[in-house]
Amino acid sequence: MTNVLLVGHSARAHAIAEAFNKNKAVKLYSFMKSKNPGIALLSEDVLIGSYSDLESIKEFAKKNKIDFAFIGPEDPLNDGVVDALQEIGIASVGPTQSLAKLETSKSFTRDLLKKYDIDGNPKFNVFNNNNLNEINDFLNELNEVVIKPDGLTGGKGVRVQGDHFNTKEEALDYCKEVLETHESVIVEEKLDGEEFSLQCLTDGKAVIMTPPVQDHKRAYENDVGPNTGGMGSYSSENHLLPFLKKEHVDAALEITRKVADAIHEETSEYYKGVMYGGFILTKEGVKLIEYNARFGDPEAMNVLPLLKTDFASICQSIIVQELDRVKVEFEKKATVCKYIVPKGYPDKPVKNEKVEVAKSEKAKMYYASVEQKDDGLYMSGSRAIAFLGIGNSLEEAEKAAEKAVSGVKGKVFHRKDIGTKTLIQKRINHINKILG
C-alpha cells in the first residue's frame, strides 16, 4: 500500500484525488481548508484545517504513515508545506517555499528568463520605491501596458490597460498604489494573442507535458464581464488546440524545459512538481504570461482524467528523479469543462443556496465550493461544481458537459458557449487576424 497525503480542497484537488484513486494500492489522506464531499468520499481519512497550520499537517502525515504528499493549491506551497514535510522525512510533489517563487514572485520568473536568455518575456521592468521616478519614462516607451504586483494576490492584482484602466496616468497611479503594500511592481508590455495553458510535470531534470488547454476567465458568455478563477476550459483530441500548431506547443514546452534547468542553475535546487505555464500565442511567437507552481483550476480537470499512466507511479518517479524513465500517456480524447457558479458570482454571489445535481452517465463531476448538509449540497459562494465532458471530438465533449449541466437545479449560471463551435471559430479568427 502507498499512503498519499493530498493537500487541497477544490475541484482541482478532487480531480487529483480521482487520479490517485484509480490505483487500488493507494490510500488517500486529505488535508483540506474546507470539506470537499467528493474528496472525502475518495479518502481513508480527512482533516480540516488551515493551510498555514504546518504543525497540524505534519501531525496528520505522521499519524497516517504518509509515503509522499501532493500539494494542490499555491497557498500551502507559499506557506512552506513542502519544507515542513521534508523536516519529518516526507517528500512532496510540489516545490519548496523558495522555488514556489516561480509563481509567487513574478519578478523572479521574468528576471530568470532574462538572465538565462530564454525566449518568452515581453518587454518589462521591475520597479520599487528606489527607482519610482523611472516608471513614467518606461510607461511611455510602451504602447499598452500591464501592471502586476510582485507577490501572491489571489489572481486579483494584475491590471491590464484597456480592460481595467485606460491612460498611462492611471497606470502610474496604480503602480504607486501597489508599492504601498508590495515591495515591487512589474510593468510590462501588453501582449495581444490567444492564451493557452501548458501544464508540465517535472522532477527538476525531465519535463513532461500534459495536453494544452484553454481556460475562460471572463464570467459571462462572449468573454465579457468580470474576471473569475476560470469558468471552464477545453482540450482537443489531438493534444493541440484549434488555434495552436505543434510548433507552438513545442515552443512553450521548450521554454519550460529551459526554465527548469535555469532554476537548478540559479538555486542549486531541483524543482519537483507542476510547472503550469500560462502562455500566449502572439505575432512574435509564443510568450510567457506567468508560471503557476500547481495544476490549473479548471485545467487539471481537462488533463488528469485522460491519464493512462498510473499517477502515483509518476509522482514517485518525480520524487526519486527518474521521470525520464516513465512513459506518460494521455487518451486521445477531447474534453470540455464547465463550471456552474452561484448567481452573482464573482462579485456578489448568493451563498448558502441549495444546488441539486442529477447524475449524468456521460459527464464527470468535480466538487468545488459546496458543502454537504443532511438535506443536500449547499453552495459557499465561489465556483460550485465542474462538469467534464469527454469525447472523440470537441463537439461530443461539449454536448456531454452541457447535458450534465442542464440537469442542475438551483440559483446558478454557467457559460454555455465554452467549447462550442462558434466560440472556437472566434478564437481561430482572432489568431488568423493576428498572425496575418
Binding site residues, ligand GLY, CB under 6 A:
215, 230, 292, 296-297, 299
Q: CA-CA distance, 93 to 304, in Å (whole number)?
A: 15
Smallest separation, CB 141 to ligand GLY (Å): 29
Residues 113-132 binding ligand AMP (CB under 6 A) are 122
Closest of 265, 96, 288 to residue 189, by C-alpha = 288
Closer to ligand GLY by Cβ: residue 139 or 423: 423
Closer to ligand AMP by Cβ: residue 232 or 389: 232
191 contact, one of ligand GLY, ligand AMP, none, CB 5-8 Å limit per kind: ligand AMP
296 contact, one of ligand AMP, ligand GLY, none, CB 5-8 Å limit per kind: ligand GLY
Question: Would you say the C-alpha torsion 54, 55, 61, 67 has a positive or negative sign?
Answer: positive
| Residue 159 grid cell | 491590471
Tell whether residue 74 is a contact of ligand AMP (CB under 6 A).
Answer: no
Provide the 3-class DSSP secondary structure of residue 312.
helix
Smallest separation, CB 38 to ligand AMP (Å): 26
Q: CA-CA distance, 299 to 322, in Å (whole number)?
A: 25
Closer to ligand AMP by Cβ: residue 158 or 262: 158
230 contact, one of ligand AMP, ligand GLY, none, CB 5-8 Å limit per kind: ligand GLY
Smallest separation, CB 77 to ligand AMP (Å): 16
188 contact, one of ligand GLY, ligand AMP, none, CB 5-8 Å limit per kind: ligand AMP
Q: CA-CA distance, 356 to 409, in Å (whole number)?
A: 5
Tell whether residue 278 is a contact of ligand AMP (CB under 6 A).
Answer: yes
Phi and psi at 100, nearest 5°, equal -65, -10
Q: Out of 47, 112, 142, 191, name the contact with ligand AMP by CB under 6 A.
A: 191
What is the total count of residues that contact ligand AMP (CB under 6 A)? 12
Tell whether residue 155 is a contact of ligand AMP (CB under 6 A).
Answer: yes
430 contact, one of ligand AMP, ligand GLY, none, CB 5-8 Å limit per kind: none
**β-strand 214-215 against 376-379: which pairing, if any?**
unpaired
Closer to ligand AMP by Cβ: residue 4 or 126: 126
Question: Would you say the C-alpha torsion 85, 86, 88, 93 has a positive or negative sign?
Answer: positive
Strand ranges (E), 33-98: 45-48, 68-71, 91-93
**β-strand 26-32 against 2-7: which pairing, if any?**
parallel
Q: CA-CA distance, 52 to 48, in Å (whole number)?
A: 12
290 contact, one of ligand AMP, ligand GLY, none, CB 5-8 Å limit per kind: ligand AMP
297 contact, one of ligand GLY, ligand AMP, none, CB 5-8 Å limit per kind: ligand GLY
Tell whether residue 190 is a contact of ligand AMP (CB under 6 A).
Answer: yes
Strand ranges (E), 183-272: 185-189, 194-202, 207-209, 214-215, 218-220, 224-227, 232-235
Tell whether residue 290 is a contact of ligand AMP (CB under 6 A).
Answer: yes
**β-strand 232-235 against 334-342: which pairing, if any?**
antiparallel
Tell whether residue 146 is a contact of ligand AMP (CB under 6 A).
Answer: yes
Provide the 3-class DSSP secondary structure of residue 225.
strand
Residues contributing to the site for ligand AMP (CB under 6 A): 122, 146, 155, 158, 160, 188, 190-191, 195, 278, 289-290
